[in-house]
Amino acid sequence: MPTANTHAFDVLIIGSGAAGLTLALSLPASLRIALISKSELTEGNTLYAQGGVAAVLDETDTIASHIQDTLIAGGGLCDADAVRHIVEHGRAAIDWLIDAGVPFTREAQDQSHYHLTREGGHSHRRVIHSADATGQAIELTLSDRVRELPNVTLFENHIAVDLVIGHKLGLRGEAGRRCYGAYILDRKGQKVALFRARYSVLATGGASKVYLYTSNPDLATGDGIAMGWRAGCRVANMEFNQFHPTCLYHPKAKSFLVTEALRGEGAYLRLPDGSRFMPRFHEMAELAPRDVVARAIDHEMKRLGTDCVYLDISHKEAGFIREHFPTVYQRCLEFGFDITAEPIPVVPAAHYTCGGLVTDMHGRTDLLGLYAIGETAYTGLHGANRMASNSLLECLVTAQGAAEDITADPLAHEPEGLVVPLWDESRVTDSDEEVVVSHNWEELRRFMWDYVGIVRTNKRLERAKHRVDLLTREIHEYYGNFRVTNDLLELRNLVQVADLIIRSAMARKESRGLHYTLDYPEQVEGEAHATLLTPPPPR
């Protein structure tokens, strides 16, 4: 019987971005769903996505072209079957969003057609968008619809602690490889409750907060990846962290990303003297894949000793700029930059986690009853580098795939008489040294930026591994002695993800896509495979 310390649902969805919301809306109304949101329901990476969703919508575009562009951007590491599956479901995903009420931008001259833009790596205009605030439009539209569902119970300001796995309960065989829910901390009430569920879904987003500079909000701490790994799931390609080339460079402009669509509409990257530099690095210049652009900016900043480079769209008509990029225009104006009249200072920042928990197209992980969707998952779509605006498409398609799989077998069975213990705090105390958490948080993000950033070396990675091992031991001891808090849980997860990133980077003896090392600057054909890490067997 549910109490204040225990809840029971058919489906537990941890995460409330595009993937989690899409899943909640795609499941049958007969299922009882718990939707866990780490902050307010709408807060998360999706809300801040500016560009759009990539899909073949124009008659001059083709599925084959979108597939080919994705494979090229992925540097030879994409799973071709996954790419085809997700691209082929693109139009249906967009139609679903339109039916849900997402207000995509239409052509000014022909309101019967949606405006499509082009971003880095794409050979056609195929990015449908809502001005320059597509993520916000999707997040707010879907969250409004979810709030209307009587079978969905929302738990805002809650964070998952760990998953409940059969082998940790002493079960063996198939029962030992099944997930039975999770322990969840109420961030406001500071109490941990048991959420039992037939199906659990990790939709917590990526882990870019592991870096000092990031376009992501504070919530992006890799919670789902870390929990899945601790539960026994494999991870893949964690060395491929995408750095968005253009975040606004201003001391007060925390995490403000300047959408790639500006470059898609003709913006130039310039050095402090006003000269362009991207034509020297790639034939597609400013429209080169993000890894190329970010590395070029990093190279020029280090070569010149400058703090930033400049993004310039002021040669376009002012009315066009204000109409197509109202969010960027207004936000930059708040910091004293008029993008219709002058270039704006930009720097790269950690943006997207291309690796994650290994899943299939239905979001199934290595554990029965446990799914991972969105940025938390590794499907094989992105390979060594994510092509712009493919991520929201992946969220939609894999969430709907998970919904199909759960719907096909909605009544997964628990072992008869299964007893899951409540969260036990009887042997811990309140921490009297919170400074340990804040200090370790800052140290971790600093050395990850310095040693495991856009350009890497063996020596830098070794230094990072030494430091992360020390932090891991310290945090493990701290976690065992004190009551859990939001900050401690996030730090614990970030340290775990950092370790996975470092280990994956050390394993790849080449440069490919988002992983660039001065010790192995060339791409090696024999390394054209995913970097797979397997957790130790349960004890």
Is residue 215 a contact partner of residue 247, using CB atoms and an 8 Å limit?
yes
Residue 436 has pLDDT above 90, yes or no: no
In a domain, 61, yes or no: yes
Please tell me what DSSP assigns to residue 218.
T
For residue 108, give every residue at least 6 positions away whose Cβ sits within 8 Å of its Cβ, in sequence order, or none. Answer: 115, 323
* Pair (78, 90) in one structural domain: yes
- The dihedral over CA atoms of 22, 28, 32, 33, expressed in degrees to the nearest 10, equals -10
Residue 524 has pLDDT above 70, yes or no: yes
Domain count, the chain: 3
In a domain, 183, yes or no: yes
Contacts 24+ apart (CB under 8 A), 250-257: 250/335, 250/345, 252/335, 253/331, 253/335, 255/48, 255/214, 255/215, 255/216, 255/217, 255/349, 256/215, 256/331, 257/48, 257/50, 257/215, 257/349, 257/351
Closest CA to 400 of 29, 103, 20, 145: 20
DSSP codes joined into one string, 328-365: HHHHHHHTT--TTTS-EEEEEEEEEE--EEE--TT-B-
H or E stretch covering 473: helix 458-481
- SS3 of 304, please? helix
pLDDT number for residue 390: 95
* Pair (400, 292) in one structural domain: no
Instruction: Calculate the CA 57 to chain-centre distance.
Output: 25
* Pair (222, 81) in one structural domain: yes
Please tell me what DSSP assigns to residue 485.
-
* Pair (191, 309) in one structural domain: no
Which tokens sit at 496? Answer: 């775990």
Catalytic residues: 290
Residues 54, 35: Cα–Cα separation, whole Å: 27
In a domain, 231, yes or no: yes
* Pair (396, 343) in one structural domain: no
* Pair (337, 378) in one structural domain: no
pLDDT number for residue 167: 92
* Pair (62, 141) in one structural domain: yes
In a domain, 64, yes or no: yes
In a domain, 528, yes or no: no
Return the CATH number at 71: 3.50.50.60
Which tokens sit at 438? Answer: 């804040």
Residues 368, 165: Cα–Cα separation, whole Å: 10
In a domain, 532, yes or no: no
What confidence tens digit (pLDDT) does each residue in 216-240 have?
888 899 999 999 999 999 999 999 9
pLDDT number for residue 433: 67
Residues 217, 35: Cα–Cα separation, whole Å: 20
Is residue 339 a contact partner of residue 322, using CB atoms and an 8 Å limit?
no
H or E stretch covering 356: strand 356-358
- Out of 302, 335, 351, a domain closes at 351
β-bridge mates for residue 11, sequence order: 33, 199
What confidence tens digit (pLDDT) does each residue in 257-291 have?
898 889 989 999 999 999 999 999 999 999 888 88
* Pair (119, 137) in one structural domain: yes
Structural domain boundaries, residue 318: 243-351
- SS3 of 377, please? strand
* Pair (359, 502) in one structural domain: no
Ranking 27-41, 189-203, 405-419, 457-471 by mean pLDDT, the lowest is 405-419
pLDDT band at 1, cuts 50/70/90?
Answer: very low
pLDDT band at 42, cuts 50/70/90?
Answer: confident
* Pair (340, 247) in one structural domain: yes
In a domain, 538, yes or no: no
Closest CA to 149 of 25, 264, 267: 25
Residues 245, 249: Cα–Cα separation, whole Å: 11
In a domain, 413, yes or no: no
Residues 135, 129: Cα–Cα separation, whole Å: 9
Return the CATH number at 338: 3.90.700.10
* Pair (114, 256) in one structural domain: no
What confidence tens digit (pLDDT) does each residue in 416-432 have?
778 888 888 767 767 66
- SS3 of 298, please? helix
* Pair (225, 332) in one structural domain: no
The torsion angles phi and psi of 46, rounded to 5 degrees, stand at -55, -40
Residue 245 has pLDDT above 70, yes or no: yes
Is residue 93 a contact partner of residue 401, using CB atoms and an 8 Å limit?
no
What confidence tens digit (pLDDT) does each residue in 358-408 have?
999 999 999 999 999 999 999 999 999 998 899 999 999 999 999 999 999
